[in-house]
Every structure is written in structure tokens, then in C-alpha cells.
Chain A
């Protein structure tokens, strides 16, 4: 399968190389060789790394803050029916809001620095993780909770020893969905206003009509997305060994 996948990739690259300059103007779609050369140059002079570092930092921090916040909110609302009913309409409204539209506000609040990117990534992540955690907490088998209460579990023990472990697979599903959104938030924030980061680089290359540069950055972003996804799955595999052995 890996061979087939490689073959497909190489085939597409060859097609691209062949089409550019002949079927479509090189100005619009560039070509793999130019993109490769551009990447090589950036790596050789080390200039790409500060951008990668900035984006990764914003993604990571945003993901961390958003997922912790989302998970806490999800568990809290999941176990307290009053709060969840009280906040329900507001949360729905906030969730329906395109979070990207908050970007200008975040620039206003947190300035042009990395903080506004972190905030945007965090908000995107927070809602996804919150919704999944909340659903997971609601799904917990009531019999397990009753069983623990009969064994004299306190409310805190029920939450930490029954509800949270049981909702864990839902939380991870949320994290997995949210991971690419953290990256999207960071890159988008950088595109709006920044002097560093892959989003800035995409924006900068585009404004210079440098399509090879745009493609090179997109390639790096795609690689990061794959890597981050893998990371989440690896952590989940470690934490949910009981689910894996069942297969």
C-alpha cells in the first residue's frame, strides 16, 4: 500500500511538472522543482525554522489552553444540569458564531504578537473539545455511577474515577478533530497580522506573486498537520490501552 501511495504522489508531481508552463502558466501554479528548490533554500539558510517555531508554538499553546478549558467546561456542564440548561442558548449562539470573525477583536485585545494567534487557536479548539466532552459525560453509563455511589464514592470520586475515564474516548475524539483547527487558527491569525510564522510567510509570498513560495509553505503546513495528528493518536493509544486490547 505504501508503494502505491508513493507512486500516486510521484505521479501527481510529474503531472504537475509536465502541466506547468505548457497547459497552465507557471506564474499561477509554479512547479514541483521550483517549490523544492525554494524549500531547500529556506532550510539551508535556516530562515524557515523561526516561522515553523512561531506557528508550532501558537498551535501548541492554543491547543493546550483550548483543550484544557474545553474539557473542564464540558465536565462541569455535563455533571451539573442546572448550569448546562442555564448556559445552553448562549453556548449554542457562541458555537454557531464563526470564530474566525473574532480575529480582529483578538488583535485588538492581545496585540500583534503571538498572543492573539494563541487566542484564536484556543477558541477554535475550546468549542470542539467542549462539545465532545459534554456529550461524553452525558453518555456515561448511569449504572456505573450508581454502582460507585453504592460503594460510598463521594461526588468528586464519581467524577474523577468514573465519569472522566468513561468520557475519555469522547474527549480524544474531540482532541483529534480539534488538532487541525488549532493549526488553522494559528495560521489564520498570522495571516491577518504578524511578522513571523507560516501564515505570515504564505501571506507575504502571495503578495509578492511568488506562487512557489506559497506552495512551499503549504507543504510545510500539511506536514505539520500530519505530524500533530499522529501525536494525538499516539497519546490516545497509550491512555486507552484497554480499548486496544479488546480488538
Chain B
């Protein structure tokens, strides 16, 4: 459904070009959950920006459902690393923002927003402004907004990075349930290998900058997955070890 055709992206700073992504080709099927993992600063976020249509690739192109992405891709929901909540709106109005844009009546969008807010564990904070929330709570509000929006494809850029371990598990569970319910396609950028193997159907290991795909591993663990216990199975350990073996190379080169 999403096809990257030999895309490269360079940023120019004066006359020096910095290659963020180089010659990456990739196909992502409908309803697939793909995790992209790699050292920080390797161009993973750039990749998502290109799929979202926010950056045009320097070379190659992104094809979404058979059409070239040339402008903002409104079929995707994008949860960026930085929370893009509007500070002058309450949590409820932030979560309901996509519905407001779509012209859903006030009462209905408040009801649906409150439902999602409860899902992400923010009940009691509906009327707070976002600057009264902690970093993790803001992430959850973003996640709630994205889930409510229910886009066909979800791009998640380290969505659970700021959460504590317990909450992370709860969010993983919530995400898997809602993604299955809404039949979404997910591209998840993370630097947590445990998270990647737990959630994904396929894990891609990126090299250091410029990012290319170093390894691709299909995770054939049964669904629905029990996010708490799946990590103790032998199959999980095999996938984890195989990926870690390759990932370690990237980190070792990084240190040199």
C-alpha cells in the first residue's frame, strides 16, 4: 500500500549536503505493523516526514495507494516526536481537534474525545491546558488524538519514549487493540528493540546516517499478542537476538 521507490533525502546547510536517507526502497502492506529501529539521529524521522508528504524526497518518490505523494498526505495520522498539541486548547479540545476540523457537532466530539481520553488514562484532565501536563501525559493526549482521528495509516515517531515502563505496557496493549479494531496500517519508529519486537509484524533495522535498511526481520508471533508475556517466549528471544546482533554493529560503529 505504501511504496518507497529508491528515495534519498539530503539537507543542505550552506553548500554542504547532509544525507539523511539514501536509496531506500520499501513496501508496506495494508494492515501491517512495521517497526523501524536504528541509532538516534539516523534519519528515521525524516523517513516518516516523507511518507507524510511534509518533506519531498531529494530523489525517488513515495507512492501511497498507487498515487505519488506530492503534497501533505491526509490519509495518514502522524504522531511526531515533539507533541503538537495546541497550548491554548484544553486536553479535550485538543483530542477533539481533528473532529472539529471535520465539522463533527460539539456534543458528539466531546463525547468521543472523553471516551478516548479515558482509554489513554487521562480522565480528570479533560479541562486542563496542555502546559499543565507532564511530558508523558502529553504523549498520551497525542496518542488519543491520533486514535480518535482513526486515519488509515498511523505514523508513530517514538510514541512511547517518555512513558514509564508500566504505562508503556498499557499503551502497547491499547495501541494493538485499537489498531486491530480500526484496521490501521502502522509505521512505528522506535529505538526500543523490545517494543519493536512486541508490536510489529516486521522490524527494519536502519544503519547510521545516511539511513538505509540493513536488515529486515519478519516477526511471526501470533496475534492478538499478550504484550506482557510475549517477551518470555522462545520465539521472541530468537527474533530479539537476531535483531540485536545486527543492531549492535551499528552502535559499535557509532562509538568509533
Residue numbers of A with Cβ under 8 A of B are 141, 143-144, 146-154, 157, 161-162, 165-166, 168, 240-243, 245-246
Query: Total A-B residue pairs with C-beta atoms closer than 8 Å?
Result: 63
| Complex interface: chain B residues within 8 A of A241 (CB) | 129
Q: Beyond A143-B80, A161-B101, is A151–B86 a contact (Cβ under 8 Å)?
A: no
| Complex interface: chain B residues within 8 A of A146 (CB) | 52, 54, 72, 84
Chain B, interface residues (CB within 8 Å), range: 20 to 34
CB-defined A-B contacts under 8 Å, sample of 14: A148-B101, A150-B54, A150-B76, A151-B98, A152-B74, A152-B98, A162-B86, A165-B88, A240-B88, A242-B89, A242-B129, A245-B132, A246-B129, A246-B132
A sample of 5 more A-B contacts (CB under 8 A), given A149-B74, A245-B132, is: A144-B86, A148-B97, A161-B101, A166-B88, A245-B129
| Complex interface: chain A residues within 8 A of B129 (CB) | 241-242, 245-246
| Complex interface: chain A residues within 8 A of B86 (CB) | 144, 161-162, 165-166
| Complex interface: chain B residues within 8 A of A148 (CB) | 97, 101
Residue numbers of B with Cβ under 8 A of A are 52, 54, 72-74, 76-78, 80, 82, 84, 86-89, 97-98, 100-102, 129, 131-132, 149
- Nearest Cβ distance between residue A165 and chain B, in whole angstroms? 5
Q: Beyond A242-B129, A242-B131, is A147–B101 a contact (Cβ under 8 Å)?
A: no
Identify which of B72, B102, B131 contacts A246 (C-beta below 8 A): B131
Q: Is the interface of B mostly helix, strand, loop or mixed?
A: loop
Residue of A nearest to B155 (CB): A150
Q: Beyond A152-B102, A162-B86, is A147–B78 a contact (Cβ under 8 Å)?
A: yes
- 4 closest residue pairs by CB, A with B: A147-B84, A242-B129, A151-B98, A246-B131
B82-A143 in contact (CB<8A): yes
Residue of B nearest to A150 (CB): B78
| Complex interface: chain B residues within 8 A of A242 (CB) | 87-89, 129, 131
- Nearest Cβ distance between residue A8 and chain B, in whole angstroms? 38
Interface-central residue, B52, B72, B78, B100, by most chain A CB under 10 Å: B72
Q: In the docked arrangement, what's the CA distance between A136 and B88, Å?
A: 15
- Nearest Cβ distance between residue A145 and chain B, in whole angstroms? 9
Q: In the docked arrangement, what's the CA distance between A241 and B128, Å?
A: 11
B74-A150 in contact (CB<8A): yes
| Complex interface: chain B residues within 8 A of A246 (CB) | 129, 131-132
- Nearest Cβ distance between residue B192 and chain A, in whole angstroms? 23
| Complex interface: chain B residues within 8 A of A152 (CB) | 74, 98, 101-102
Interface-central residue, A144, A151, A161, by most chain B CB under 10 Å: A151
B78-A153 in contact (CB<8A): no
Q: In the docked arrangement, what's the CA distance between A153 and B97, Å?
A: 10
- Nearest Cβ distance between residue B86 and chain A, in whole angstroms? 6
| Complex interface: chain B residues within 8 A of A149 (CB) | 72, 74
Residue of B nearest to A152 (CB): B74
Residue of B nearest to A241 (CB): B129
Residue of A nearest to B100 (CB): A161
B101-A150 in contact (CB<8A): no
| Complex interface: chain A residues within 8 A of B52 (CB) | 146, 150
- Nearest Cβ distance between residue A242 and chain B, in whole angstroms? 4
Residue of B nearest to A158 (CB): B101
| Complex interface: chain B residues within 8 A of A144 (CB) | 84, 86
Identify which of A150, A165, A245 contacts B72 (C-beta below 8 A): A150
Q: In the docked arrangement, what's the CA distance between A51 and B224, Å?
A: 79
Interface-central residue, B77, B88, B131, by most chain A CB under 10 Å: B88
Identify which of B73, B80, B89 contacts A147 (C-beta below 8 A): B80
Q: In the docked arrangement, what's the CA distance between A242 and B128, Å?
A: 9
| Complex interface: chain A residues within 8 A of B87 (CB) | 242-243
Residue of B nearest to A146 (CB): B54
Q: In the docked arrangement, what's the CA distance between A147 and B98, Å?
A: 10
Interface-central residue, B78, B86, B89, by most chain A CB under 10 Å: B86
A150-B132 in contact (CB<8A): no
Q: In the docked arrangement, what's the CA distance between A166 and B102, Å?
A: 21
- Nearest Cβ distance between residue A20 and chain B, in whole angstroms? 53
- Nearest Cβ distance between residue A26 and chain B, in whole angstroms? 56
- Nearest Cβ distance between residue A208 and chain B, in whole angstroms? 53
Q: In the docked arrangement, what's the CA distance between A246 and B129, Å?
A: 8
A151-B97 in contact (CB<8A): yes
Residue of B nearest to A242 (CB): B129
Identify which of B74, B77, B101, B149 contacts A157 (C-beta below 8 A): B101
Interface-central residue, B78, B84, B131, by most chain A CB under 10 Å: B84
Interface-central residue, B73, B74, B101, B131, by most chain A CB under 10 Å: B101
- Nearest Cβ distance between residue A174 and chain B, in whole angstroms? 18
- Nearest Cβ distance between residue B159 and chain A, in whole angstroms? 14
